[in-house]
């Protein structure tokens, strides 16, 4: 590889964010596969902290900054037929 080609490759390298994703898949591929199986088998689940009503969204955001949430913080908006109406409560 010529010096010119090396310079082009260095200039066009991916951003840190892309490299971090690449690092995770390449370096931890076996763990990624294991955890993926655990998630699909139901052995590893995520917790959701669901709050109802858009009017509660500011308080929900404040609780994020003090670490008062557990798992994913969701704000359910709308009544019956809303985006989360058929999702089970956890």
Q: What is the pLDDT of residues 51-74, one digit of tens each?
A: 899 999 998 888 888 887 778 888
Are residue 28 and residue 58 in the same domain, yes or no?
no
Helical (H) or strand (E) element with 75: strand 72-76
Q: How many residues does the chain have?
A: 90
Are residue 34 and residue 17 in the same domain, yes or no?
yes
Cα distance between residue 13 and residue 2, in whole Å: 17
Are residue 53 and residue 35 in the same domain, yes or no?
no
Are residue 80 and residue 51 in the same domain, yes or no?
yes
- The range of the structural domain enclosing residue 34 comes to 1-45
Average pLDDT over residues 15-42: 69
For residue 85, the Cα-to-chain-centroid distance in whole angstroms is 22
Cα distance between residue 21 and residue 9, in whole Å: 19
pTM listed for this prediction: 0.42
Are residue 55 and residue 33 in the same domain, yes or no?
no
Are residue 25 and residue 60 in the same domain, yes or no?
no
Are residue 4 and residue 41 in the same domain, yes or no?
yes
74 secondary structure, DSSP code: E
- How many domains does the chain fold into? 2
């Amino acid at each position: 590889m010529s010096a010119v080609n090396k310079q082009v490759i260095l200039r066009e390298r991916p951003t840190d964010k892309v490299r971090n994703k690449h690092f995770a898949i390449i370096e931890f591929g076996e763990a990624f596969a294991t955890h993926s199986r655990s998630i699909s088998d139901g052995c590893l689940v995520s917790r959701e902290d669901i709050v109802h009503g858009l009017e509660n969204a500011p308080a929900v955001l404040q609780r994020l900054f003090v670490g008062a949430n557990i798992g994913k913080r969701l704000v359910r908006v709308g009544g019956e037929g809303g985006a989360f109406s058929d999702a089970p409560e956890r």
